[in-house]
Amino acid sequence: MSIDLNAVRADFPILDQQLYGKPLVYLDNAATTQKPQCVIDAISHYYEHDNANVHRGVHTLSERATAAYEGARKIIAAFFNARSEREVIFTRGTTEAINLVASSWGGANIRAGDEVLITHMEHHSNIVPWQMLCEHVGATLKVVPINEKGELIMAAFDELLSERTKLVGVVHMSNALGTINPISTIIEKAHAVGAKVLVDGAQAAAHVAVDVQAVDVDFYVTSAHKMYGPTGIGVLIAKESILEAMPPYQGGGDMIRVVTFEKTEFNDLPYKFEAGTPHISGAIGFGRAIEYIQSIGFAAIEKREKELLAYATAKAEAFEGLRLIGTAGTKACVLSFVLEGVHPHDLGTILDREGVAIRAGHHCAMPVMQFFKVPATARASFSIYNTEAEVDALFAALKKAQEIFS
Amino acid sequence: MFELRDLYQQVIVDHNKSPRNFGKLETFNHEADGYNPLCGDRLHVYLNVNSDGLIEDVSFEGEGCAISVASASLMTDAIKGTPLSEFSQKFDMFQHMVTADLDEVPDDEALGKLAVLSGVREFPSRIKCAVLCWHTMKSAVSDSDEVAKTE
């Protein structure tokens, strides 16, 4: 099980370019990954040959579009091992999926005095919807603390979890720290007190295999664009029994069976939660991206990404003046750091001129920055197509930044 | 080609490392906050204007990238001891310099040391860093309670 790095790189046409006379080194994969040619082709093919609205027409193009759209749902269901396609709801992305759950399930099930338990390392998208819900219904938002390595303090989780907890929201892999959280344990413990669990898989789903039945998760959400797919499309995978009992999120076309001015009968799952014309080409591209991941396989992906992270971490530890933010025992693909004497934003600008694309900022995880008492970090995040030579280019550029500021 | 050194000139590196007029003034009659939440750049400026309308003293505190710190440092140097009534003209001049067309040569004579920041034009995502202190100072001058932001 190993990756043919040259072949993988050749799958991504965008990588073959120069910036300011230097080869592009794309290390901002936690923000969004690049897209392989097969995904680009699948989207073009749809618009060139099959474009029509889905679930409506009897004409050939509409049937083709519907088959491709529903085919993507089937691929996604199998990838995450959902019980059926009825458990796979297309959304605009992770953020919309969380808002859907907070608004529909939360609105119906969370009452004054209840508690929602999240963690200190959540992305803003898994904080704000719960904060809004809690304020609206009079519930309380509780937060599981983290330690200096950027790991959840599980003893504190045990203490905070109680019969009052109605929902636990936890990120599978932190975008700011790289930490992979023990979601199986968290789900088991949450279920023991009767709480449901939402796992934010935006960062994890391209890097580790997820089996929603094996971990018994209630809601798993992710975005296609961090998995080599297009932007604007994501997914909520939830247990059918829970989805059945939830009220619709948005009203409109496609989510209804019969409409009269007196009453509307809602459509079956998953359509009940997909009002309006969906992002058809996005779903098709998402399906193709997942097939691409499957063609490489998680065994090879995890092995390769571990290897590269270890290489980069060793370089980082030896680099004078560099402080790693996020050193969890179980982590993947993210190297978040600050460099003494050089602000992350200056680093971002200097690295860019060296062809190296990294993210500088709070990574939509301001509480993480507050915990580590830094205004921002620089973050290099890796993917299957990154090389050791690119890691070397990153550190050479960091050296240059230090020289400018010396 | 435009080089990094054109942005990070020695003067800027130097003002970032040893910012002038840094810290809280003992006596001041105007102050304001500036904050760019996306960047995390944070500033507080203090201003002491005397009865003749002269900026007798000025200082700033805060944290941010080299461009924002150096810009604040250079700004305080540039307005210290000048009439408050001239601030708005200086503000406009600086704003113009960092947003002007690349081929426009900055007016070194009028801008003085501030001209070293003209390189920021080449880096559109960093202009907000250079102007945060100016907008914060504008808030202080007009005694606005609103936190200045430029992103």
Sorted by sequence, the CB contacts under 8 Å of residue A150 that are 6+ apart come out as A121, A174, A177, A178, A179, A325, A326, A327, A328, A331, A368
Length of chain A: 406
Fill in the amino acid letter for A295: S
Neighbouring CB atoms inside 10 A of A70's CB total 17
- Is B150 domain-assigned? no
**Helix (H) or strand (E) segment spanning residue A131:** helix A128-137
- Is B12 domain-assigned? yes
- Is B147 domain-assigned? no
Identify which of B16, B63, B67 has the shortest CB distance to residue A375: B63
- Is B146 domain-assigned? no
The answer to whether the CB atoms of B13 and A405 lie below 8 A apart is yes
Domain architecture of chain A: domains with CATH: 5-30+297-405 (3.90.1150.10), 40-294 (3.40.640.10)
The answer to whether the CB atoms of A346 and B67 lie below 8 A apart is yes
Identify which of A346, A349, A375 has the shortest CB distance to residue B40: A375
The structure tokens 């700004």 sit at B75
Sorted by sequence, the CB contacts under 8 Å of residue A45 that are 6+ apart come out as none
Q: Are strands A115-119 and A165-171 parallel, antiparallel or unpaired?
A: parallel
- Within chain A, which residues score under 50 in pLDDT? none
d(CA A34, CA A382): 11
- Three-class SS of A328-365: CCCECCEEEEEECCECHHHHHHHHHHCCEECEEECCCC
Burial class, A260, CB count within 10 angstroms (exposed 0-12 / middle 13-18 / buried 19+): exposed
pLDDT the model gives residue A268: 93
d(CA A284, CA A73): 9
- Is B90 domain-assigned? yes
The answer to whether the CB atoms of A345 and B16 lie below 8 A apart is no
pLDDT the model gives residue B2: 66
Taking residues B11-37, report their average pLDDT: 95
d(CA A325, CA A332): 13
Mean pLDDT of chain B: 93
Residue B10 Cα, gap to closest chain A Cα (Å): 8
B126 touching A (Cβ < 8 Å):
yes
Residue of B nearest to A406 (CA): B13
d(CA A225, CA A227): 5
Is a pLDDT exceeding 90 seen at residue B151? no
Q: Where are the beta strands (DSSP E) in B38-142?
A: 41-49, 55-63
pLDDT the model gives residue A371: 96
pLDDT the model gives residue A278: 96
Residue of B nearest to A370 (CA): B40
The answer to whether the CB atoms of B1 and A362 lie below 8 A apart is no
Q: Which residues of A181-191 are buried (b: 16+ CB within 10 A; e: fewer)?
A: bebeebbebbe
Residue of A nearest to B11 (CA): A405
Fill in the amino acid letter for A318: A
CATH of the domain at B8: 3.90.1010.10
Backbone angles phi, psi at A277, to 5 degrees: -65, 125
Residue A32 Cα, gap to closest chain B Cα (Å): 18
Candidates B6, B65, B67: best to mutate against A (most CBs of A within 10 A) is: B65
B4 touching A (Cβ < 8 Å):
yes
Q: Write down the H helix ranges in A141-260.
A: 154-160, 183-192, 212-215, 240-245
**Helix (H) or strand (E) segment spanning residue A64:** helix A60-79
Residues of A within 8 A of B64 (CB-CB) are: 343, 375
The answer to whether the CB atoms of A375 and B64 lie below 8 A apart is yes
d(CA B69, CA A121): 29
Identify which of B1, B5, B40 has the shortest CB distance to residue A376: B40
Residues of B within 8 A of A20 (CB-CB) are: 1
Residues of B within 8 A of A363 (CB-CB) are: none
Closest CA to A227 of A16, A27, A29, A7: A29
- Is B99 domain-assigned? yes
Query: Contacts by A245-250 with C-beta closer than 8 Å and gap 24+?
Result: A245/A108, A246/A104, A246/A105, A246/A108, A246/A273, A247/A104, A247/A107, A247/A108, A248/A104, A248/A272, A248/A273, A248/A275, A249/A100, A249/A103, A249/A104, A249/A273, A249/A275, A250/A275, A250/A276
Burial class, A385, CB count within 10 angstroms (exposed 0-12 / middle 13-18 / buried 19+): buried
B112-136 pLDDT per residue, tens: 999 999 999 989 989 999 999 999 9
d(CA A155, CA A9): 43
The answer to whether the CB atoms of B39 and A349 lie below 8 A apart is no
pLDDT the model gives residue A254: 87
Scanning B72-101 for CB atoms below 8 A from A yields: none
- Is B119 domain-assigned? yes
Tokens of B35: 């904050």
- Is B73 domain-assigned? yes
Prediction pTM value: 0.94
CB of A61 within 8 A of CB of A48? no
d(CA A73, CA A360): 35
Residues of A within 8 A of B40 (CB-CB) are: 361-362, 369, 375-376
Tokens of A224: 């296609």
Closest CA to A143 of A376, A374, A371: A371
Is a pLDDT exceeding 60 seen at residue B1? no
Sorted by sequence, the CB contacts under 8 Å of residue A53 that are 6+ apart come out as A62, A65, A277, A280
Range of B26's domain?
4-141
d(CA A143, CA A135): 15
DSSP state of A125: G
Catalytic residues of A: 364
B19 touching A (Cβ < 8 Å):
no
**Number of domains into which chain B is organized:** 1
CB of B71 within 8 A of CB of B94? no
Closest CA to A181 of A218, A150, A223: A150
Is a pLDDT exceeding 90 seen at residue B109? no
